[in-house]
Structure 1
């Protein structure tokens, strides 16, 4: 049995649930990729983001942080024209701004991975929910982390988006208790 939200999706949703969602992540580029996907997900269905993930990876150079941080307004306009691209200039600019913020942090020897995992003393928060209705859309931790990210200069990082991010990268384990991928 899987978590119910993955059961009704396409194969890429099932694969995402089984192989990515809730798996503790420490790779900086991967953490940036997921943060960027969450930026695009705001107001949209996650299935759409997974369907367009390859396009997003292509236009953002596989989410290479320095490369994305150096992107210009001209490149933003080119991205808008790419077939199947989610053509939202605010979200595209947010990803670029977040890469620039990460670059500044990296120059100070601060990693996103360190910020994230220090919130929980490097421990996964395992909620052990029985049913999907128990899972909140945000928590005190996601509110705290959203504030911290905004302080550093990140954008599109509200508490609900951040909660989904923390679930995805495995800081929070919200796989249902009966899910065999816990």
Structure 2
């Protein structure tokens, strides 16, 4: 049990900056949302700390997560990234960036933006748990399961309900800062 919202990042300035300036902060920017979707997917089976320390390399490798640029990446470009030690060299995760970018483009065509699609699941409202202790914060929810299922139907990968919940936190659809956190 911990009533410290920052217990998971203590001593790491990269994670501290993320917690204070991005985590659970509302974003309506499709590019940022796509970046967080890709980074959360890359974190599957790994620590968020590992991914955040590789974030600059991911941005460089994937054209700052431009949805159009990622959707247009060739097999050769993606294969080349598999030899880049600054990334997680998992073929499925690397290729999922292009796959998910193409799915996001289709979503944008259908809904007008990735943002409109995502926030339609909460009717534009932030889900706020008002937690007093970190042990109360869930790892998935009914909404994350619903979004996960829909994204999978649209051809996305690395979007299970737990990763989707973390993604929802990353873009501010969920506010899981503890009630006593100054960054709430």
Q: Tell me which interval the TM-score lies in, with the shorter structure as reference length.
A: over 0.9
* Structure 1 position 104, deviation (Å): 2.2
- Partner SS state of residue 48, structure 1: helix
* Runs of 4+ residues over 6 Å off in structure 1: none
| Residue segments in structure 1 that go unaligned for 5+ positions in a row | none
Structure 1 residues 43-79: Cα deviation after superposition (integer angstroms, max 9, x where no partner): 1000000100000000000001111001111111211
Contact 1:142 1:162 in 2 (8 A): yes
Scaled by the length of structure 1, what TM-score is found? 0.95
Distance of 2:153 and 2:169 partners within structure 1: 21
More helix by share: 1
Scaled by the length of structure 2, what TM-score is found? 0.94
Query: Where do 1:19-98 residues align within 5 Å?
Result: 19-98=21-100
Distance of 2:108 and 2:90 partners within structure 1: 27
Q: What residue in structure 1 maps to residue 164 of structure 2? A: 162
Query: Where do 1:122-161 residues align within 5 Å?
Result: 122-161=124-163
Distance of 2:11 and 2:99 partners within structure 1: 31
Q: What residue in structure 1 maps to residue 6 of structure 2? A: 4
Distance of 2:123 and 2:110 partners within structure 1: 21
| Residue segments in structure 2 that go unaligned for 5+ positions in a row | none
Distance of 2:121 and 2:111 partners within structure 1: 18
- Partner SS state of residue 138, structure 1: coil
The root-mean-square deviation of aligned C-alpha atoms, in Å, is 1.5
Aligned length: 182
Distance of 2:98 and 2:123 partners within structure 1: 29
* 1:84 to 1:7, Cα distance in 2 relative to 1, 3 A: closer
Q: What residue in structure 2 maps to residue 175 of structure 1? A: 177
